[in-house]
């Protein structure tokens, strides 16, 4: 059977006979047989007895059996064609579908045989022969995954849509670039018709079919891709800015092993306010700091950058932790009093085996002993920075060889559906079982707390370990101390003590002499300007020699230029000249400590620890 006409009808619409007259002459469609002219110029066909002629079963229009004029019980013979309003039913389906820019294909039957494709479809995929199955005539539908969708539409009678399917360039059509389309498959009934009266066509019942409608969304897809790329660039720039405000490399103290990690939260291109730092203070002491400026964006990053810079400057004063926090509190109020920021500042002293800290509204430090016991260093804690009017205090917790500690921001433990204390408890359990080097511990804590790239808050972690020295490492670390009694006569005794200790540590003659000279000058300065109790401490690590003198007077020495006629005032200048670095600080309970350091040459920091002289010829 050859179909000379077709019509598409959405399910649920009524099929009505169309009444043709000279007002709506049929229009031939491309590739279809032309319809005969209208029989009479009347508005409504009538019979010989002037009664309306009955509607025919098959009409001669391009869309037969798909429309019907509402019957007028008293049609007026005086109406002219110009006086009648145009109706949509007078339009050809071919004309409508052929002019729209979207892709249209009509298929019928369970095998999805092709009934029609419009010009836009042919432009993209090329012309297609009617009557063939979709797999034969429209292989692109199979490649786009639409055939299973069309089966679903036929079975369910409901439309289905697939979005943003890519159509490569050169897919049988005239397109020179890739395109994206959203396809909607809608159930329709496809009816056949031909020149009236055609009994073969008139007896064919409508068949279920699918109308495939493809709307191009290339511009939307490309805009979305450009937007995603722009957001990715902005986020990368934000993360780069964030990381540039953090230390590029952590300072590595002699007595501690430290590692830190920072993970930005969320996907938006906003800079966070989490930060951390490690600052070597001299004489083996190390400052560790972590903070969090609430909020995100440039404003939070600006406050964070200023606070971190200020901490490094204040740390050089070698003040107690609570005094550092007090200074930061005043600075934060000056920078932006409305910006909430928390911070904890801690100092580790290997000689004391303790961690002294002060907190401004920050989460507690967790400390793990050598036996695996974890406890919180939670007190004392003051309000966040910038509140003013609060006198911060310092606390301390033991952190000897074999111990470790973790400082962190709230993004690690805070969840919207849980109390933050539950998160801290989870961190305690994870920290108790997290073994390995500090960087490994950081990674394990992130995994244990469920932190992924999709986490919605910034996370900063700082892990420090005070390792136990055994074997070769133990030979590189030595301590010696002498209590200074008896006034000025303690000077030669201190000089002899320093000479003997440095000789036993097998330093080179040059370093030996410099160390003895520095010890003599610091002891002489303390005997002249300080008060008892006084003590000389010598300490070597794998990288430096440290000379330190403590006394009971809290007036810190200053380096000054001595005049040629002055008999005193040159001791600190001599020490500052010969040593790699020097400094002074007040000690808890009153008093001060004055120290200097000498960097060890590579040979002395390794080979001579085993009793081998630097010069093999020296035997």
What tokens appear for 572 in the block?
Answer: 């600190």
User: How far does CA 385 lie from the centroid of its chain?
Assistant: 27
Adjacent-strand bridge partners of 44? none
pLDDT for 46 equals 33
pLDDT at 40: 38
Pair 572, 584: CB distance under 8 Å: no
Q: Which of 348, 206, 212, 379 is nearest to 284 (CA)?
A: 348
- Mind listing the pLDDT tens digit for each residue in 507-561? 999 999 999 999 999 999 999 999 999 999 999 999 999 999 999 999 999 888 7
Radius of gyration of the chain (CA): 45
Per the CB < 8 A criterion, the answer to whether 357 and 406 are in contact is: no
Helix, strand, coil percentages, rounded to 5, for the chain: 30, 25, 45
Pairing type for strands 179-193 and 5-9 reads: antiparallel
The answer to whether the beta carbons of residues 561 and 593 sit under 8 Å apart is: no
Per-residue DSSP letters for 413-448? T--TTS-HHHHHHHHHHHHHT--SSHHHHHHHHHHH
- Token pair of 442 as six digits: 């950081």
Alpha-helix runs per DSSP H in 164-217? 199-202
Phi, psi of 546 (to 5 degrees): -120, 130
- Classify 5-215 by CATH class: alpha beta
Distances (CA, A) of 224 to 164, 183, 218, 267: 11, 19, 10, 16
Q: Which two tokens stand for residue 254?
A: 């002699």
Cα distance between the two ends of the chain: 114
The token pair that represents 560 in the structure block: 């000054």
User: Angle 509-529/490-504 helices, nearest 10 degrees?
Assistant: 150
**For each successive 10 residues of the chain (619 residues), what is the average pLDDT?**
47 48 42 38 36 40 40 56 63 78 92 91 87 89 91 93 87 75 92 53 70 94 92 79 82 94 74 90 95 84 90 94 95 87 96 94 95 89 89 94 96 89 95 94 94 86 93 84 90 96 95 97 93 95 95 90 71 94 91 96 55 36
Distance of CA 461 to the CA centre of its chain: 16
What is this structure's pTM?
0.65
Q: Is 282 left (phi over 0), alpha (psi -120 to 50) or beta?
A: left
Q: Which two tokens stand for residue 185?
A: 């498959």
Q: Quick one: pLDDT at residue 613?
A: 38
Cis preceding linkage at 37, omega within 30: no
Q: Which CATH number fits domain 475-618: 3.30.565.10, 2.30.30.100, 3.40.190.10, 2.60.40.1180?
A: 3.30.565.10
Per-domain residue ranges of the chain: 5-215, 234-466, 475-618
Region of 402 (left: φ > 0; alpha: ψ -120 to 50; beta: rest) is left
Structure-token pair, residue 443: 């990674």
Q: How do strand 257-263 and strand 274-282 relate by DSSP bridges?
A: unpaired
Q: What is the pLDDT of residue 191?
A: 72
| Residue 209 · residue 190 · CB < 8 Å | yes
Per-residue model confidence (pLDDT) at position 320: 94
Q: How many CB atoms lie within 10 A of CB 341?
A: 26
| Domain 234-466 of CATH type 3.30.70.20 | no
- Residue 554 makes CB contacts below 8 A (sequence gap 6+) with 586, 587, 590, 591, 592
- The answer to whether 260 and 442 are in contact (CB under 8 A) is yes
Distance of alpha carbon 261 from alpha carbon 243, whole angstroms: 10
């Amino acid at each position: 059977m050859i179909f000379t006409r077709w019509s598409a009808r959405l399910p649920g619409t009524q099929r009505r006979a169309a009444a043709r007259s000279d007002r709506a002459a049929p229009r031939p469609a491309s590739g279809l047989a032309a319809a005969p002219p209208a029989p009479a110029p009347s508005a409504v066909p009538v019979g010989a007895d002037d009664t309306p002629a009955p509607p025919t079963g098959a009409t001669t229009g391009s869309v037969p059996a798909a429309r019907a004029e509402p019957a007028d019980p008293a049609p007026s013979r005086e109406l002219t064609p110009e006086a009648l309003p145009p109706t949509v039913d007078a339009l050809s389906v071919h004309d409508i579908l052929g002019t729209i820019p979207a892709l249209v294909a009509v298929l019928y039957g369970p095998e999805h045989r092709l009934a029609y494709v419009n010009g836009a479809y042919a432009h993209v995929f090329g012309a297609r022969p009617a009557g063939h199955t979709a797999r034969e005539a429209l292989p692109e539908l199979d490649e786009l995954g639409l055939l299973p969708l069309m089966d679903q539409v036929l079975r369910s009678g409901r439309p289905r849509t697939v979005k943003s399917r890519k159509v490569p360039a050169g897919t049988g059509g005239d397109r020179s670039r890739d395109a994206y389309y959203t396809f909607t498959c809608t159930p329709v009934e496809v009816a056949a018709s031909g020149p009236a009266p055609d009994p073969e066509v008139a007896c064919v019942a409508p068949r279920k079919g699918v109308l495939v409608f493809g709307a191009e969304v290339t511009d939307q897809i490309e805009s979305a891709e450009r937007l995603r790329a722009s957001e990715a660039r902005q986020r990368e720039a934000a993360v780069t800015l964030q990381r540039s405000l953090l230390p590029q490399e952590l300072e590595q103290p002699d007595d501690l092993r430290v590692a830190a990690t920072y993970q930005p939260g969320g996907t938006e291109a906003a800079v966070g306010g989490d930060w951390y730092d490690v600052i070597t203070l001299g004489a083996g002491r190390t400052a560790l700091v972590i903070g969090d400026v609430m909020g995100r964006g440039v404003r939070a990053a600006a406050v964070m950058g200023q606070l971190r810079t200020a901490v490094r400057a204040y740390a050089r004063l070698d003040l107690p932790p609570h005094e550092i926090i007090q200074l930061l509190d005043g600075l934060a109020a000056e920078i932006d009093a409305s910006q909430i920021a928390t911070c904890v500042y801690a100092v580790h002293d290997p000689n004391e085996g303790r961690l002294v800290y002060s907190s401004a509204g920050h989460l507690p430090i967790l400390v793990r002993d050598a036996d695996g016991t974890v406890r919180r260093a939670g007190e004392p804690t003051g309000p966040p920075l910038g509140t003013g009017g609060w006198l911060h205090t310092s606390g301390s917790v033991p952190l000897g060889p074999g111990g470790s500690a973790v400082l962190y921001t709230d993004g690690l433990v805070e969840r919207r559906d849980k109390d933050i204390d539950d998160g801290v408890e989870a961190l305690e359990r994870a920290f108790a079982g997290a073994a390995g080097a500090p960087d490994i511990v950081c990674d394990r804590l992130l995994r244990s707390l469920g932190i992924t790239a999709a986490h919605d808050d910034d996370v900063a972690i700082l892990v420090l370990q005070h390792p136990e020295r055994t074997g070769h490492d133990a030979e590189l670390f030595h301590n010696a101390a002498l209590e200074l009694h008896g006034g000025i006569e303690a000077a030669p005794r201190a000089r002899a003590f320093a000479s003997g200790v440095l000789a036993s540590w097998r330093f080179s003659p040059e370093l030996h002499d410099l160390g003895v000279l520095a010890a003599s000058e610091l002891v002489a300065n303390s005997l002249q300007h300080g008060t008892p109790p006084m003590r000389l401490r010598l300490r070597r690590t794998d990288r430096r020699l440290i000379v330190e003198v403590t006394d009971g007077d809290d007036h810190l020495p200053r380096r000054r230029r001595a005049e040629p006629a002055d008999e005193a005032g040159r001791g600190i200048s001599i020490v500052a000249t010969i040593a790699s670095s020097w400094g002074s600080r007040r000690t808890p309970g009153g008093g001060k400590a004055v120290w200097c350091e000498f960097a060890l040459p590579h040979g002395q920091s390794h080979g001579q620890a085993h009793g081998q002289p630097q010069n093999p010829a020296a035997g």
